[in-house]
Chains A and B, each alone.
Chain A
Amino acid sequence: MAVGKILRRGFLIGSAAIAGGVAFGTYRYLQPFENPLDPAAGETTLNPYILITAAGVSIITPRAEMGQGIHTTLAALVAEELDLDWQQVTAIHGPPAAAYLNASAMALGLPTAEYDDRSIRRVGKGAVRVAQKLAFGIQLTGGSTSTTDAFDRMRRAGAAARMVLTQAAGKRWGIDPILLKTEAGQVIDADGRSLSYTDLAADAAQIIPPADPPLREPANWRLLGQTLPRLDMVPKVTGTARYATDIDLPDLLCASVRATPFAGGTMIGLDTNNANTLPGVRQIVSLGNGVAVVADNTWIAMKALDQVDVTWSPPAYPATTEAQMARIESAFDTRADSTLRDDGLAEVVVEAARAESLSLVEARYTVPYLAHATMEPMTATALFKGDQLTIWCGTQVPTLARDTAAAHVGLDPDQVTIITTFMGGGFGRRSETDYTTQAAQIAVALPDVPIRMTWRREEDISHDFYRPAAIARLTGAVGPGRPEAIDMAVAAPSVLAGQSNRMVGFAPPLADKLLVEGAFDQPYALPNFRVSGHAADTGIPVGVWRSVGHSYNTFFLESFLDEMAHAGELDPVAMRLALLEPEHTPSARTLESVAAMANWGQQLPEGTAQGVGFCHCFGSSVAQVVQVSDVEGQISVDHVWCAVDVGQALDPGNIEGQMESGILFGLSAAMFGQITFADGVVEQSNFHDFDSLRMDRTPLITTRILQNNLRMGGVGEVGTPPVAAALANAIFALTGQRIRDLPLANAVSFT
């Protein structure tokens, strides 16, 4: 049975990590982190999440706000327990610090299935947390982990602060704290006397807080479970929210960057004579693999970049899309780097199907490289003064941005201050540190001058850490009434190896889960099911892109399941339900729910069709139905229904917004998105050739939130995976054309 094999592997990894943890010493793991907050005169901090000033309580929300609403939800965790009114709440990102390491994120790399909730897997996760804290920990916003990681920790921070504030009031009044209540940022006694948290903060800081304060039952929540007004909404509708490209400092100069078009290459010749004579150009800085122009304004800097005469080292990788895909295809000839699922006898059953009565289905699928194309291109502002470097940046990895920049410019990490701003989109792109390091290099070349660096859009599209291109080979056997076997092999450049190498200098000695996630870890009780992953070395930098491996494996598997359903003359929803029910009930309910929402199985008008897709990812179950129609030979995407089970919904309005966002991000990629290469250079450059859905093509989206999963799941990436397959399946239902290569617009035309 599927669970048995997955569990066994999880146990082995868990054991190794536990042994390591014990060897390092669990004592160190149990020590609380130092509070990194440095209160000014008149301010008090009670723990790493709470700063009390004359104006009230500021909550530190140490995850990057890139649009997903995380500052609002994290602040609500503290405010709920601390008894703050929502109008009183302010949130700040705070400094990079060990206290804010993401304990959940590294567990994402564990080669276990997310839906499997057995205790042994939690042991595995706990062991990773130990290892992470001791050696590899970073402050990461990613992997849809922010809320699950903070859920207990930040509520405890609020609860502990409330207890010491209450005790301080009790001491001042000479009343047993048990007789006091808290409300709207005040401690109140039975006679109605009140003391504000600001009044009490200094006294409260002298009291040792409880390590494990009791937390409120969800039934008593005032803020959590409700849709809250986002804390960043008013700044964002008035143009007053500050991004890294908006930082204003006295005597600031503007910069833009042009790096080698050949990933991994260097600059072998540089002539700055032309550009240096342009009015307004102040300095040209060599970055080793590119140049920066520093000028009086950004326009001059961006224009002057084309006047710099540069010779680049030639590309050291397959220089065309065709050659890239051939390189990926060749990885199938090498031994699999991972076979994380191998139930039954998939290969044998598939072979038997060739000779017997079972229907055999064979298919090859491909997806292209994709850019993130955040609305704000890569930007950062930096100032090097004395021996101190300050970088204002939108980053998903502030500790790593600090350490990487420091290493590049020869400073100690403690000489580098990172100020994390709002970011104009992340989607994984801002978990890289190339741009923050560039800003550091430019600032160090011009001491005492604040530098505001803004990439041209063309630089942003062509210098990404791309969603990998990938190829899948699938064979399956369908018997009477049910699928019997799937043998699936995936080849793609490894995100895990690429990003780990950039982050910590080596690839972890684990099976590459990200290569096959969205396939091996799906809760389908398929009797014979094998998933193998083959890592390809293509020389193109790849990185995490909203939902990572699920972004392509879910397209492969869910399209192929649709093919199997049609081959076996089975209903695509009913066939999946029969596979989900015995393995993971909440996922079955999720699929059932979306089918009901979309009235699946109804007689649709002529020229209209539906397709379905499902995925379990980031701890949540998500199912989607897409409805399309034929408009004079073109495809119109009319409606997307989405059911998502997040276990516990902390902010339903925000979760719905994230589903809409994830769906439209996934649809844009499925319909139009592709990064291609010619002569070693990325062929796309701006939104005319790397476009996304606009208002006119946006379908209706209907979302329903379920809470059957036993543990809380993530939401930021969850909306993206199923939609590509659901759309392709709908197009098949409409036209009979099975599209196995993304983007779909290469094969059909959309209205």
Chain B
Amino acid sequence: MTSLTINDTPHVVEVEPDTPLLWVLRDILNLTGTKYGCGAGLCGACTVHVNGIPERSCQVSIGDLNGASVTTIEGIGTPGQLSILQQEWVACQVAQCGYCQSGQLMQATALLQENSAPTDEDINAAMSGNLCRCGSYPRLRAAIHAAAKRMAD
């Protein structure tokens, strides 16, 4: 049994402790915005925040999360109330198939929380673990810069 907070809501989860957080989110709590891509920490599609740090949820066991605070894509904004980064994602028309975008947004949200004015090099360092087969990278980069600029203004 694991007690944790997900998107500011307390949850008690009864599942085998080695179950990855990814599958608890998707299959037990029906938070399907977080995606399975590789199951091996290689693609970043399942990125969420654990205590404010971006983590691959396929590599985090639920048994290690007692008392943790988890934020998923559902926790950073909604269609009616987009975060600044999500607004810039829309303005730059970043997503194509969209499947990797939850992970990209969670990774980029963490980047901007840590670094309010990232350079291209900073963006490369933070984002290169997140794979996109549609090649949305140029627009993704533009959206991160645009969001950083707006947050600074």
Contact = CB atoms under 8 A, between A and B. Distances in A.
A235 interface: yes
Given A374-B133, A686-B40, A425 B99 contact: yes
Interface string A677-721: 000000000111001111111101100000000000000000000
A697 to B, nearest CB: 8
Given A233-B95, A425-B97, A661-B96, A239 B135 contact: no
Nearest to B89: A237
A427 B132 CA distance: 13
B8 interface: no
B42 A687 contact: yes
A299 B97 contact: no
Contacts, number: 191
A695 B72 contact: no
Contact of A298 (B23, B37, B97, B137): B23
Contacts of A248: 30, 32
Nearest to B18: A299
A232 B134 CA distance: 15
Nearest to B107: A695
A235 B96 contact: no
B133 A238 contact: no
Interface in A445-501: 454, 456-457
Contact of A232 (B36, B98, B139): B98
A375 B100 contact: yes
A252 to B, nearest CB: 9
Contacts of B28: 297
A240 B16 CA distance: 28
A230 B124 CA distance: 26
A58 to B, nearest CB: 18
Contacts of B9: none
Contacts of A700: 138
Nearest to A376: B99
A302 interface: yes
Interface in B104-127: 105, 123-125, 127
Given A229-B90, A297-B27, A298-B27, A695 B99 contact: no
Nearest to B85: A237
B133 A457 contact: no
B37 A457 contact: yes
Contacts of B77: 237-238
A514 B129 CA distance: 36
Contacts of A245: 32, 35-36
A377 B100 CA distance: 12
Contact residue range for chain B?
Answer: 35 or more
A302 B26 CA distance: 14
Interface in B25-67: 26-28, 30-40, 42-43, 45
Given A67-B134, A375-B100, A698-B138, A240 B33 contact: yes
A229 B42 contact: no
A375 B45 contact: yes
B32 A246 contact: yes
Nearest to A375: B99
A667 to B, nearest CB: 9
A237 B136 contact: no
B82 interface: yes
Contacts of A25: none
Given A298-B26, A375-B99, A695-B130, A238 B33 contact: yes
B73 A238 contact: yes
Given A233-B95, A248-B30, A299-B20, A240 B135 contact: no
B90 A234 contact: yes
Contacts of A298: 23, 26-27, 36
B97 A376 contact: yes
Contact of B78 (A238, A454, A687, A696): A238
Contacts of B105: 237
Interface in B131-153: 131-141
A416 to B, nearest CB: 24
Nearest to B141: A695
A227 to B, nearest CB: 8
A238 B86 contact: yes
A49 interface: no
A457 B33 CA distance: 18
A67 B27 contact: no
B39 A657 contact: no
A298 to B, nearest CB: 5
A68 B16 contact: no
A279 B16 contact: yes
B82 A238 contact: yes
A701 B137 CA distance: 10
A148 B92 CA distance: 26
Q: Which of B23, B94, B100, B133 counts the most A-chain CB atoms under 10 A from its CB?
A: B133
Contacts of A663: 135
A237 B39 contact: no
A363 interface: no
Contact of A424 (B39, B72, B98, B129): B98
Nearest to A688: B42
A236 interface: yes
A637 interface: no
A396 to B, nearest CB: 12
A69 B96 contact: yes
A534 to B, nearest CB: 31
Given A240-B33, A695-B141, A696-B124, A232 B95 contact: yes
B42 to A, nearest CB: 4
A374 B139 CA distance: 19
Contact of B23 (A69, A297, A687): A297
Interface string A183-208: 00000000000000000000000000
Q: Which of A245, A246, A425, A697 counts the most B-chain CB atoms under 10 A from its CB?
A: A425
Contacts of B40: 457, 686-688
- 8 shortest interchain CB distances as A-B pairs: A239-B33, A424-B99, A664-B135, A67-B97, A236-B98, A67-B96, A239-B73, A696-B124
17 contacts: A66-B97, A234-B90, A237-B82, A237-B101, A238-B33, A239-B32, A248-B30, A297-B23, A375-B133, A424-B35, A426-B97, A660-B135, A660-B138, A693-B137, A695-B123, A696-B128, A698-B135
Interface of A: 66-69, 227, 229-230, 232-243, 245-246, 248, 254, 279-280, 296-300, 302, 373-377, 422-427, 454, 456-457, 653-654, 657, 660-665, 686-688, 691-698, 700-701
Given A232-B98, A375-B97, A692-B131, 12 more contacts: A238-B74, A239-B31, A239-B32, A239-B33, A240-B33, A243-B99, A280-B16, A297-B28, A299-B23, A425-B134, A657-B96, A695-B124
